[in-house]
Structure 1
Amino acid sequence: MRPEVQAFVETGPLPDWDAREEEIDLRTRQLAAIPGPVTAEEAEALVACFGPDDCYGVAWTLLHLIETGPNPALTTQPDPDANEWHYRLYNRSVFDAPAPTT
């Protein structure tokens, strides 16, 4: 795993809307330092970094970075109590996938 990804993951989940501006700025800078595409291992680790809300749009940036990986990060439907971002990733991989060719 690249050091930039490791640093982001070690900082933990994204904060919520009530976080201090400095914390949100830090997470934004950390995320911007990760060039895509990510590896499957990195995508899997990044999935655990979603917070309780969209963190002023930072969660969307995280989602798009995860989607640069080689495979869908989530291949099974999340548990009913899973984070909403896990559902988004799963649904985007299932419903936005190209139709199989015959």
Structure 2
Amino acid sequence: MSPEVRTFVAGGPLPDWDASEEENDRRDRQLVAIPKPVTAEEALVLVSCFGPDDCYGVAWTLLHLIETGPNPVLTARPAHDATEWHQRLYDRAGGL
């Protein structure tokens, strides 16, 4: 796993809309520093980094980064209480 992915994942889930601009910018910089395409292992751990909302668009960047790796990342339908981002990843991969 790349050091950039490790750093991003260590930061935990993306913050919500109440986070500071500095925090959002920091997470965005970490995300764009991750080399593409990601590996299957990296894609799987990155799935855990979605937060409660779109984090001012950063969640979309995360989704697109995950999609650079081997698909599908999620091979089973997400649980009913899963985030909308997990459901989007699943649906965009064809909803197996």
Q: Give SS of 2:94's match.
A: helix
Cα deviation 1:37-73 (Å, max 9, x = unaligned): 0000000000000000000000000000000001211
Structure 1's unaligned 5+ residue stretches are 98-102
Cα deviation 1:59-101 (Å, max 9, x = unaligned): 0000000000012110110000001100000000015x9xxxx
Percent of aligned pairs sharing the same letter: 73
| Deviation (angstroms), 1:35 | 1.8
Return the letter of the residue paired with 1:44: L
Q: TM-score, normalised by structure 2?
A: 0.96
Show the 5 A alignment for 1:1-102.
1-94=1-94
Q: Give SS of 1:94's match.
A: coil
Give the whole-Å Cα distance in 1 for the aligned partners of 2:59 and 2:3: 20
Q: Give SS of 2:42's match.
A: helix
Consecutive aligned runs of 4 or more in structure 1 exceeding 2 Å deviation: none
User: What's the Cα RMSD here?
Assistant: 1.1
Count, aligned residues: 96
Structure 2's unaligned 5+ residue stretches are none
Give the whole-Å Cα distance in 2 for the aligned partners of 1:49 and 1:21: 18
Return the letter of the residue paired with 2:22: E
